[in-house]
Amino acid sequence: MWPYHPDLLATPVPRYTSFPTAAEFGPLSPDVTRDAIQRAEGDVSLYVHIPFCEKICFYCGCNTGASGRRQRLDSYLAALYREIALTASLLPRHARVRRVSFGGGSPNALDPVDFVRLMDRLTLEFALVDPVLSIELDPRSMTADWAHVIGHVGIERASLGVQTFAPHCQKAIGRVQAEDEIVRAVDWLRDAGVGSMNFDLMYGLPMQTQEDLVDSMHRTRVLGADRVALFGYAHVPHIVKRQAAIDDSQLPDAGARFAMASLGYSYFCTHGYAPVGFDHFAKPGHDPLARAALSGTLRRNFQGFTDDEAPVLIGLGASAISSFPDLLSQNEKNSGRYRMIAGEGRLPVERGIARSDNDRLRASVIEGLLCQQAAWVPPALRAEVSDRLAVFEDRGLAAMQGEHLHITPEGLPYARGIAALFDPYRQQSPRRFSSAI
């Protein structure tokens, strides 16, 4: 079990899926993003956001809304097609797209035929070069037709929103799904040729006990998940209004949350999975994510830990974030406004931040600490953080070895807090973030 230092977890910290984080984004002219797309070098990855789910769960912090009326989906897809065409026309001819990820929301809130059209559109507009295709799926809206399309299109990686198998926790978070629905989705996807199956699980849920968590992890393993993402439930009703439906008196306290995170980590590490960063796990051997974690090439992007090494990630769709070496840029979040702007053939960029050399240096330290638990720290940064770092060093959670800072195995649950020492923006407004565990 990990050592518990509540004082080191008291301050909320970002998840650092980017640095600077989205909290630092300000208004950004679409011309800046246009220029970055035109200058793209090397491989390009695409992320396509589908901000719809058939049913909305009240725990969910993702940018999604009820799929509802057919016309809403149609006009969203029409706008997305315009954005796809415009973006592809701006990319240099030599840019090769090696990955396409579909996320949400739940892309399978779309009609499977619409998804085939979307895939066709991407294929026609971009130079897709034997791309790795992945998709997030809601097991409740999986159908045989969807599985057929996934097989036909050649999607190799699927991520299922499982969250918990415990019926009382499911009820408390507004996400009731029978185990049979998950089993059926797994069977369909395996038959369709999906080689890498991820399960998203959560701890820190209302009324969740350690036994509930062990039971969910056990079922996950028995169902053969190749990867697992184990997220601490982030309860931020001041930001995500629908979470107000959750009775916060039923949430486990900080100590119980920490014990669950620790239990989850030791469970997967002793049941056939390699740790990937601090909250992902993958079966070692064939899995590229596990290989990246073991070989030191793991990266972090807006989707979490990844084996994607492409220098450019272009986000398409409402709220999608693009990452270029010197720029982070986010699309309009509101899907109605997105439809209007992209539908008029304009780049639907709303916010972002240019990355200075100093930001990039700090980003590489933060990413190294989270992905490899080690980073080279230049002398000026070492001097800047030394007092605050001593708190972690004194408790054996981090150690300098020459010019490299290492997070010790006991320090893993404090990795985000240690990374935050290098984040100069972090001195203000911590309330925007969730707890570090």
Ligand X SMILES: C[S@@+](CC[C@H](N)C(=O)[O-])C[C@H]1O[C@@H](n2cnc3c(N)ncnc32)[C@H](O)[C@@H]1O
Question: Which residues lie near ligand X (CB under 6 A)?
Answer: 59-62, 103-104, 106, 136, 138, 161, 163, 200, 202, 231, 233-234
Closest distance between ligand X and the C-beta of residue 308, in Å?
A: 17
Closest distance between ligand X and the C-beta of residue 376, in Å?
A: 31
Closest distance between ligand X and the C-beta of residue 62, in Å?
A: 4
Closest distance between ligand X and the C-beta of residue 195, in Å?
A: 20
CA proximity to 121, closest of 412, 316, 336:
316
Encode 19-48: b = buried (16+ Cβ within 10 Å), e = exposed. Answer: bbbbebbeebebebbbebbeebeebbbbbb
Which of residues 126 and 281 has its CB atom nearest to ligand X in the complex? Answer: 281
Which of residues 54 and 125 has its CB atom nearest to ligand X in the complex? Answer: 54
Closest distance between ligand X and the C-beta of residue 137, in Å?
A: 6
Q: Are strands 44-50 and 312-316 parallel, antiparallel or unpaired?
A: parallel
> Which two three-digit tokens encode residue 196?
């890498």
Closest distance between ligand X and the C-beta of residue 285, in Å?
A: 25
Are 129 and 46 in contact by the 8 Å Cβ rule? The answer is no
**Rounded distance, CA 405 to CA 401, Å?**
6
Which of residues 88 and 158 has its CB atom nearest to ligand X in the complex? Answer: 158
> Which two three-digit tokens encode residue 186?
């797994």
CA proximity to 174, closest of 185, 161, 183:
161
Closest distance between ligand X and the C-beta of residue 379, in Å?
A: 37
User: Helical H runs in 155-312?
Assistant: 167-172, 179-191, 210-222, 254-269, 288-295
Which of residues 161 and 206 has its CB atom nearest to ligand X in the complex? Answer: 161
Q: Which helix (H) or strand (E) holds 46?
A: strand 44-50
Nearest residue relative to ligand X (C-beta): 161
Are 109 and 67 in contact by the 8 Å Cβ rule? The answer is yes
**Rounded distance, CA 120 to CA 117, Å?**
5
Which of residues 82 and 196 has its CB atom nearest to ligand X in the complex? Answer: 196
Closest distance between ligand X and the C-beta of residue 188, in Å?
A: 15
Which of residues 14 and 104 has its CB atom nearest to ligand X in the complex? Answer: 104
Percent helix, strand and coil across the chain, each rounded to 5? Answer: 45, 20, 35
Map residue 61 onto helix, strand or coil.
Answer: coil
Closest distance between ligand X and the C-beta of residue 200, in Å?
A: 3
Which of residues 90 and 164 has its CB atom nearest to ligand X in the complex? Answer: 164
DSSP lists the bridge partners of residue 299 as 306
Which of residues 368 and 417 has its CB atom nearest to ligand X in the complex? Answer: 417
User: Helical H runs in 270-318?
Assistant: 288-295
Which of residues 243 and 398 has its CB atom nearest to ligand X in the complex? Answer: 243
Are 301 and 308 in contact by the 8 Å Cβ rule? The answer is yes
